Amino acid sequence: MNTDKQQVHDFWNEASCGEDLYLPGLDREAYEAQARKRYELEPYILEFAGFDRARGMQVLEIGVGLGADHQRFSQAGADLTGIDLTERAVEHTARRLAAFGLSSKLAVGDAERLEFSDESFDCVYSWGVLHHSPNTPKAVSEVWRILRRGGRASVMIYHKWSLVGFMLWIRYALLGLRPWLSLSDLYARYLESPGTKAYSIAEARRLFSHFSEVSICTVLTHGDLLESMAGQRHQGALLSLARNIWPRALIKRHLSRTGPVHAN
């Protein structure tokens, strides 16, 4: 593993996504509580992932994290495979599925070098993962390679022009007296794992340009609306203050087209 990817691995192997904030234990109840919170904060995942359409399909999830979506695919009757760069996420997901009497072919694996033959899945699903991998275009071309012609990839990546980006700029560029820092620098240094990227719609379209059909939409997230803990890296008095004064109603009315890019 090269240094950049090792850093991504080490970041997510310290705590899987949402583990510190929303996973109260390691048993069935704890995983259930985390999933409840996940779909309360991000209800749009349910439609985007299309769990109900997965019965009998060969599905690969890339970047399983704590495994809530993986559980849904398994419960829906998918012929399921899941990978994650980290041992921790694979352990969580295996433990979660076992607690519910479910199964999947789970392994540690790298989105940039998928160990599957060409055209071997009907559906590839990846929520909030590929923008963390150092060579995102390579990961996207791997998704295309292993997808059957006529198959579907549902991929969520971060949107560059988001309120989260604006908040990072206020906190680290403006208040950090480094207003020259670009949004790309800010996402890479301060959002989550080192090197995280975010895309404009045009950039996302270019990234997926070898797919025969691409539809992209953006949503306002709980992060943009400060409706949740902002993430495992972000805490403090300034954030608490912002959470109290954040004009959510105004944002929802006028800025409903910022947030992560979903391409499928």
Ligand X SMILES: C[S@@+](CC[C@H](N)C(=O)[O-])C[C@H]1O[C@@H](n2cnc3c(N)ncnc32)[C@H](O)[C@@H]1O
Beta strands of 23-169 (E only): which ranges? 58-62, 79-84, 105-108, 121-127, 147-157
CB 62 within 8 A of CB 91: no
Among 72, 92, 96, 132, interactor with ligand X by CB under 6 A: 132
Q: Is 31 in the site for ligand X (CB under 6 A)?
A: no
- Report DSSP state, residue 210: T
Q: Is 133 in the site for ligand X (CB under 6 A)?
A: yes
Give which of 64, 56, 68, 78 is closest to 22, Cα–Cα: 68
| Alpha-carbon 211 to chain mean position | 20
Q: How far is the CB of 193 from ligand X (least distance, A)?
A: 7
Strand order in the sheet with 261-263: 105-108, 79-84, 58-62, 121-127, 147-157, 261-263, 216-218
Alpha helices (runs of H) in 132-187, residue ranges in sequence order: 136-146, 163-168, 183-186
CA distances from 124 to 9, 71, 100, 246 (A): 21, 15, 23, 36
Q: Is 142 in the site for ligand X (CB under 6 A)?
A: no
Q: Is 152 in the site for ligand X (CB under 6 A)?
A: no
Q: How far is the CB of 66 from ligand X (least distance, A)?
A: 6
Tell me the residue type at 243: R
Q: Is 17 in the site for ligand X (CB under 6 A)?
A: yes
Q: Is 112 in the site for ligand X (CB under 6 A)?
A: yes
Q: How far is the CB of 175 from ligand X (least distance, A)?
A: 25
> How is residue 249 written in tokens?
């109603």
Give the largest Cα separation in the chain, rounded: 55
Nearer to ligand X, 112 or 224 (CB): 112
Site string for ligand X, 63-102 (x = CB under 6 A): x-xx----------------xxxx--x-------------
Nearer to ligand X, 129 or 146 (CB): 129
Q: Is 230 in the site for ligand X (CB under 6 A)?
A: no
Q: Is 62 in the site for ligand X (CB under 6 A)?
A: yes
Q: How far is the CB of 205 from ligand X (least distance, A)?
A: 22
Where do contacts with ligand X occur on this chain (CB under 6 A)? 8, 12, 16-18, 62-63, 65-66, 83-86, 89, 110-112, 127-129, 132-133
